[in-house]
């Protein structure tokens, strides 16, 4: 599935006590190995400690560091783990601050620190030279000859491509990791010794998160711990793992024992994002050097314990405050887009069909907000309720109540007589409740709405959402069609939260009560006759499956181009407490079948605003042939 477990470690150290430091590094390696980490990043100069000062010029310290590296190399023979550890390197009588990259009994390469800070509390240039511009060099040790040395090294095992930089490198205008990412590195390690100041933690965290987003990579950051502290400087042992702008793991700083954090990195997702982002590919032309790709091979990379949160509802922020901000933003996008269309067409009226269901409710709320923006009276919102064979008292009354409470022009047109006449005209038995029975009603409603829009000089507003479009759960040239649609890129799981947001934050008590009852009503097109008790018989999720599953499938299929196997793996992890594996696979098969066979409906969509990163508009984000086979994907 292209997941890999990585680690960031902060061992306990003593300044200039190499044996002590080595012992704790080896303990961390053993611990990481027990937890099945495949890569581990240690702090900058952790073998000697960062704050040695003029001791870096002492032969004993440099020789001790060299011997410690040799012991770590020997230790790595028994580990299936890529190790990045910090130590000095005396190369041609010049001292470099380096990251040693070790795997399976070898130093695969050595990466020098490109930028040496020499301002404020830092004066590294007293001891170290910058590695900027060093590429394709070779270093000879007694135990290993011609070790690659330079800033252009990328370490590759299958789809996992590692690049490394050291501390200050991240803080410059164009970090080395930017170049390495453009050359293919999708996992970046930073060996750091960043001292602690008030608020520096927040800036550091934002810097790492942003760099992982810009470079579309995972970023593993390990900084020197409290025991490095000396003279005027305090270090905190900050450990962070980010991925494409999201912070996956962060430790509690100021720990006084060996500490390691872990996370599973989704390399498939990173590569998928890069594949789609043409600008990322084009930017590779600015890299001033070619990569030196150093291949290595993991013995295995099985997921033993999956250490990653998989969001069941990827379209909906789990944080309450963030979710409210997102809902407010979406409403502003929808209303502003509709306002532009009304201004452009110079229309002062909107026509909308109201069923008492979620989608038409959301669309009506958007129209109301838009009219407020434009200073148009709500009486110019012509709301039509069109009861049919399956309309229940609950949805009917909610539709009437909501329109009245919002002060709209409410009209009722019963479609039963028209539908029966049409059955007679086309020779369809009214007792056969098939797709014809259902679609006659849907198309009759759309015809009424279209004709009324013409009569009133108004814009017919479409109500269908993204989830329905993905499944093709709409009648072609029925509810599928409108003059402008406001919900086409909002999935069903998010529709609920948008309606709830209005109910809780932007409504009077009367409107709020109606909205909350609409939220509690089962999702249904109400095209089949209601039960003897007057209740809804046709429940959408009983037919096509739970929308929360379909929205999950849609997100991962479109966002990352995930295969069925990968989506199954993620869904079983996310919904393990909610659905059986058989149910998850059953509805995924249904999703794939309907997604491919219903593309022709999406190819003829009316205009509508894009509000999120996933849209199925044939004019922008999703251009798929209507006749594509699903056999490769099932």
- C-alpha span between 212 and 204 (Å, rounded): 12
DSSP string, 37-73: -SEEEPPTTTTT-TT-GGGGG-HHHHHHHHHHHHHHH
Give the closest residue to 479 by CA, choosing from 505, 430, 445.
Answer: 445
> Does 378 show up as a binding residue in the annotation?
no
Buried b (16+ CB within 10 A) or exposed e, 302-328: eeeeebbebebbbbbbeeeeebeebbe
> Does 476 show up as a binding residue in the annotation?
yes
> Within a 10 A sphere around the Cβ of 504, how many other Cβ atoms?
13
Buried b (16+ CB within 10 A) or exposed e, 549-571: bbbbbbbbbbebebebebbbbbb
> Does 160 show up as a binding residue in the annotation?
no
- C-alpha span between 298 and 28 (Å, rounded): 20
> Does 159 show up as a binding residue in the annotation?
no
> Does 343 show up as a binding residue in the annotation?
no
Length of the chain: 634
User: Quick one: CA dihedral 119, 125, 128, 133, positive or negative?
Assistant: positive
Rg (CA), the chain: 31
- C-alpha span between 373 and 334 (Å, rounded): 12
The pair of structure tokens assigned to 114 is: 């490109």
> Does 414 show up as a binding residue in the annotation?
no
> Does 520 show up as a binding residue in the annotation?
no
- C-alpha span between 610 and 466 (Å, rounded): 10
> Does 223 show up as a binding residue in the annotation?
no
> Does 439 show up as a binding residue in the annotation?
yes
> Does 468 show up as a binding residue in the annotation?
yes
Give the closest residue to 496 by CA, choosing from 541, 444, 563, 556.
Answer: 541
- C-alpha span between 287 and 320 (Å, rounded): 42
> Does 463 show up as a binding residue in the annotation?
yes
> Does 222 show up as a binding residue in the annotation?
no
Give the closest residue to 216 by CA, choosing from 165, 132, 276, 173.
Answer: 276
> Does 354 show up as a binding residue in the annotation?
yes
The pair of structure tokens assigned to 341 is: 């269309």
- C-alpha span between 188 and 250 (Å, rounded): 16
Residue 219 contacts residue 210 (beta carbons within 8 Å)? no
42 contact partners, CB below 8 Å, separation of at least 6: 9, 10, 11, 25, 28, 83, 84, 85, 86, 191, 222
> Within a 10 A sphere around the Cβ of 625, how many other Cβ atoms?
10
**Can you say how many angstroms the Cα of residue 618 is from the centroid of all Cα atoms in its chain?**
23
The pair of structure tokens assigned to 236 is: 């905190």
> Does 576 show up as a binding residue in the annotation?
no
Residue 123 contacts residue 150 (beta carbons within 8 Å)? no
Q: Which whole-number Å values give the CA distances from 362 to 238, 355, 461, 465, in the listed order?
A: 45, 11, 11, 10
> Does 86 show up as a binding residue in the annotation?
no
> Within a 10 A sphere around the Cβ of 260, how many other Cβ atoms?
21
> Does 353 show up as a binding residue in the annotation?
yes
DSSP string, 585-609: HHHHHHHHHHHHHTHHHHTTPPP--
The pair of structure tokens assigned to 383 is: 């709301």
Catalytic residue numbers read 44, 113, 167
> Does 194 show up as a binding residue in the annotation?
yes
Task: Please give the annotated binding residues for ATP, written as ranges.
Answer: 353-360, 463
Task: Please give the annotated binding residues for deamido-NAD(+), written as ranges.
Answer: 439, 468, 473-476, 601
Task: Please give the annotated binding residues for L-glutamine, written as ranges.
Answer: 119, 194, 200
Task: Please give the annotated binding residues, written as ranges.
Answer: 119, 194, 200, 353-360, 439, 463, 468, 473-476, 601
């Amino acid at each position: 599935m292209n997941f890999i477990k990585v680690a960031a470690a902060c061992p306990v150290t003593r300044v200039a006590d190499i044996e002590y430091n080595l012992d704790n590094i080896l303990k961390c390696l053993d611990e990481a190995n027990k937890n099945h980490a495949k890569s581990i990043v240690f702090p900058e100069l952790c073998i000697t400690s960062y704050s040695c000062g003029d001791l870096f010029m002492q032969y004993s310290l440099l020789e001790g560091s060299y011997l410690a590296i040799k012991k770590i190399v020997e230790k790595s023979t028994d580990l299936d783990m890529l190790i990045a550890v910090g130590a000095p390197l005396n190369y041609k009588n010049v001292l470099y601050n380096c990251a040693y990259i070790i795997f399976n009994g070898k130093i695969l390469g050595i990466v020098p620190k490109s930028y040496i800070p020499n301002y404020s509390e830092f004066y590294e240039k007293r001891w170290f030279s910058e590695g900027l511009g060093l590429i394709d060099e070779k270093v000879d040790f007694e135990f290993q000859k011609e070790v690659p040395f330079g800033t252009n090294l990328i370490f590759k095992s299958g789809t996992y491509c590692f690049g490394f930089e050291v501390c200050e490198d991240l803080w410059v205008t164009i970090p080395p990791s930017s170049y390495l990412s453009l050359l293919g590195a999708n996992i970046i390690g930073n060996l750091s010794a960043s001292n602690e100041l008030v608020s520096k933690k927040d800036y550091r965290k934002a810097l790492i998160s942003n760099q992982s987003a810009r470079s579309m990579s995972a970023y593993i950051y390990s900084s020197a711990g409290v025991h490095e502290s000396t003279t005027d400087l305090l270090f905190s042992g900050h450990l962070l793992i980010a991925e494409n702008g999201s912070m996956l793991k962060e430790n509690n700083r100021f720990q006084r024992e060996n500490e390691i954090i872990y996370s599973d990195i989704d390399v498939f997702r990173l590569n998928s994002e890069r594949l789609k982002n043409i600008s990322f590919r084009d930017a590779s032309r600015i890299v001033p050097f070619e990569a030196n790709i150093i291949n290595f091979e993991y013995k295995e990379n099985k997921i033993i314990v999956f250490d990653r949160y998989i969001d069941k509802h990827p379209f909906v922020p789990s944080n309450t405050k963030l979710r409210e901000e997102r809902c407010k933003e979406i409403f502003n996008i929808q209303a502003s887009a509709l306002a532009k269309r009304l201004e452009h067409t110079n229309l002062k009226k909107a026509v909308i069909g109201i069923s008492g269901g979620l989608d038409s409710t959301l669309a009506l709320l958007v129209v109301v907000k838009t009219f407020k923006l434009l200073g148009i009276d709500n009486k110019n919102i012509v709301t039509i309720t069109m009861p049919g064979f399956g309309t229940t008292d609950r949805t009917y009354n909610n539709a009437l109540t909501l329109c009245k409470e919002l002060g709209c022009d409410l009209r009722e047109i019963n479609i039963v007589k028209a539908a029966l006449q049409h059955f007679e005209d086309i020779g369809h038995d009214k007792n056969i409740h098939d797709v014809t029975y259902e679609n006659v009603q849907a198309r009759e409603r759309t015809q009424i709405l279209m004709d009324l829009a013409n009569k009133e000089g108004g814009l017919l507003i479409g109500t269908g959402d993204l989830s329905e479009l993905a499944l093709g759960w709409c009648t072609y040239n029925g509810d599928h069609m409108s003059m402008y649609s406001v919900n086409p890129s909002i999935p069903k799981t998010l529709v609920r939260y948008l309606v709830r947001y209005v109910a809780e934050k932007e409504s009077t008590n009367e409107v709020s009560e109606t909205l909350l009852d609409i939220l509690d009503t089962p999702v249904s097109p109400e095209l089949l006759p209601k039960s003897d008790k007057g209740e809804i018989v046709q429940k959408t999720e009983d037919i096509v499956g739970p929308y929360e599953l379909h929205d999950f499938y849609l997100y991962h299929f479109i966002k990352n181009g995930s295969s069925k196997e990968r989506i199954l793996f993620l869904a079983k992890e996310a919904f393990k407490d909610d659905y059986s594996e058989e149910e998850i696979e059953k509805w995924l098969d249904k999703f794939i079948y309907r997604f491919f066979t219903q593309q022709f409906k999406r190819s003829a969509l009316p205009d509508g605003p894009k509000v999120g990163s996933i849209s199925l508009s044939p004019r922008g984000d999703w251009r798929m042939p209507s006749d594509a086979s699903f056999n490769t994907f099932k």
